[in-house]
A = this chain, B = another copy of it.
Amino acid sequence: MLSKNQRKQILQLSQKKQRFTNGLFVAEGEKVIRELMNSSWVFESLYTTYSTFHPVAEVIRTEEMNQLTHFKTPSPVLGVFKIPPKKEILNESITIVLDGISDPGNLGTLIRLCDWYGLSELICSKTTVDCFNPKVIQASMGSIVRVHCQYVSDLAQTLKDLDKPIFGATARGNSLYDAILPKRASFVFGSESHGISYNLTAHLDEELAIPHFKLGENRAESLNVASAGAIFLSEIFRPS
């Protein structure tokens, strides 16, 4: 049975501040937990509603799991893991950069996309949602263990230091499909509502857009940032 104290500790990890104070985060879902357990990441505690999941897991009742979960439909497995140590910036040939992405599902999906296309690093502004948010962890489907999210306070300076061309995904840019994309480059994505921040826009070498395929006014105004990221990554890595 779960103690009041255990429950309190897990629930407070829904707050970013508490995650960083304790150096811990919560993951839910079998697939995600298995990926985390198979990685070098360190688990602190593991809870499940069915006894066969893992020998070290503490078996709890469904009603107890319902009190712990961050989701409407709780998974039968929940784990508390240590936040891994920070890494140096790798500066891979291709760098994806997120400026103010607030939706956790979008960040998780973008982490998964970076993993698919073989990237180990994602650079995020401090205004981007925390990658240890339970919804980001879930949407990343375990890719979080392979894609290190670097949160930097000065995106413009960090990108200048990477010393490669900087492209921005914007609505008014040149067609992505017509661009000749260099082997080494950074690609910046802003939030759907605010776009790329003003002081970073000045540092872009080129703005690129996914062109509209429908004429007139009566059409989608924009794509969500995870869809745009998927299309950009596909264009960057596709054999020409």
- Give A residues with C-beta under 8 Å from B: 105, 109, 112-113, 115-118, 139, 141-143, 146, 177-178, 210, 212-214, 218-224, 226-228, 230-231, 234-235, 237-239
Contacts and interface: CB of A to CB of B under 8 A. Distances in A.
Given A230-B231, A231-B230, A223 B177 contact: no
Prevailing SS type, chain A contact patch: loop
A219 B140 CA distance: 12
Number of copies: 2
B213 A117 contact: yes
A220 B177 contact: no
Contacts of A221: 141
Contact of A223 (B116, B212, B213): B116
A108 to B, nearest CB: 9
7 contacts: A116-B220, A116-B223, A118-B213, A118-B214, A139-B224, A146-B220, A230-B230
Contacts of A116: 210, 212-214, 219-220, 223
A214 B143 CA distance: 13
Contact of A177 (B105, B113, B226, B238): B238
B109 A224 contact: yes
A214 B112 CA distance: 13
A149 to B, nearest CB: 15
Contacts of A222: 141
A219 B109 contact: no
Among all A-B residue pairs, the 7 with the closest Cβ atoms: A118-B214, A230-B230, A115-B220, A118-B213, A227-B230, A231-B234, A116-B220
A175 to B, nearest CB: 8
B234 A146 contact: no
A54 B57 CA distance: 54
Contact of A219 (B118, B228, B237): B118
